[in-house]
Amino acid sequence: MRYVGAALAIALVSTSTIAGDEKKLVGTYRLVERTSKDGTTVKHPPDVLGTMTFSKTQRSVIMRWASADGTPVSIAAIYRYTLSGGKYCETEEYGVQTNLGAPGTTYDTPGTAPTCTAALTDATGLSFDVPSERLRLQVTRDGFRATTPRWTDRWEKVK
């Protein structure tokens, strides 16, 4: 019986997404702060600038920051997504990046099929890995945290 109680507690703490979870995403968000792995924090603007919008089926992102050597880096992308059945699925429609990993501007090849990751809802909110990026989103009532291997960005929901 003790094991059944433990399994039930785990199920209640970390569950798959449920109907209506996509409403937690819908809105426009502003990047307000980036903290690197060494603890250095930079604020919006002038050091980082970003806007991300989720509609019921689309995600768009525009960001600008400076690399370690001061070179400006920017990205802009548009995605289609779904959030249901415990999965976040995304297909890139358009992407462009400047000075991200290599000098110059590059364009992403649009996706032809969605890529999916597990999405979980618990007491702290909704969380999932963004399939096309090395990025973990943790959505809360006031915004979200986006964590990469190099930094964590804090985004606030625009009221």
Q: Identify whether 131 is preceded by a cis peptide bond (ω within 30 of 0).
A: no
Cα gap 151→59, rounded to integer Å: 21
What is the average pLDDT across 28-48?
A: 93
Closest CA to 137 of 113, 112, 119: 119
H/E stretch holding 31:
strand 27-36
Q: Name the residue type at position 59.
A: R
Domain count, the chain: 1
pTM of the full structure: 0.84
Rounded to an integer, what distance in angstroms lies between the CA atom of residue 12 and that of residue 123?
9
The amino acid that residue 150 corresponds to is R
pLDDT score at 103: 94
Q: How confident is the model at residue 3 (pLDDT cuts 50, 70, 90)?
A: very low
Domain range for 147 is: 2-157
pLDDT digits (tens, 9 = 90+) for 90-118: 999 999 999 998 999 999 999 899 999 99
